[in-house]
Amino acid sequence: MQAGKPILYSYFRSSCSWRVRIALALKSIDYETIPINLIKDGGQQFSEEFQALNPMKQVPALKIDGITIGQSLAIIEYLEETRPTPRLLPQDPKKRAHVRMISDLIAGGIQPLQNLSVLKQVGQENQLTWAQKAITSGFNALEQILQSTAGRYCVGDEVSMADLCLVPQVANAERFKVDLTPYPTISRINKTLLALEAFQVSHPCRQPDTPPELRA
């Protein structure tokens, strides 16, 4: 199946790229990173070369097994189907539905609203308020859901795709100075996950393209 090392087109701070980096780390998949700087040169994602790889002009994109996949959840599901260990989707259909629901809530209902491309549209002076509103609105729902689905992690006691979405989104919330006090379940799970090696090696402060001042 392996035709050369997989290549991940990633930006250190991209929360969608971070989700995929966690999956690759958990599944012990060796890969190469090609950084795509979303700020520099007006955004390298807009280059003709990158647009040919991903017409949506977004990171991440993963070249693997002779195909190129965009969209972080599609990438994670492909990795799950082709390299099922350790599993990121529970065997139980109800738990699996909860994992997908939480993943979609974050990946479809929170992150896109506070994404760089959207923030550019709302104007510099409104960006912080806009992002905070988008995140708190989503976190209010997420906290409530997690109170019924969570064990040690988002759904029960196994790390799942939902957890891969949660940690990067909490990092975004912190970056936008969102008060996390009203979200004890989100905060507890996030803290537990950040202690795991896969979440540490994939962290934005430890990427090939992390600026020196942000390195840890």
**For residues 67-73, average pLDDT:** 97
Classified by CATH at the fold level, domain 93-199 comes out as Glutathione S-transferase Yfyf (Class Pi); Chain A, domain 2 (1.20.1050)
pLDDT, tens digit (0-9, with 9 covering 90-100), for 142-169:
999 999 999 999 999 999 999 999 999 9
* Residues 7-85, CATH architecture: 3-Layer(aba) Sandwich (3.40)
Residue found under tokens 């139980």: 92
The pLDDT of residue 126 is 96
Tokens of 138: 């989503």
- Per-residue pLDDT of 79-124, as tens digits, reads 999 999 999 999 999 999 999 999 999 999 999 999 988 999 999 9
The model's pTM is: 0.96
The SS3 of residue 65 is: coil
**For residue 100, what pLDDT is reported?**
98
**Domain locations in the chain?**
7-85, 93-199
Residue 172, SS3 per DSSP: helix
- Sheet architecture: strand order including 32-35: 32-35, 7-10, 61-64, 67-70
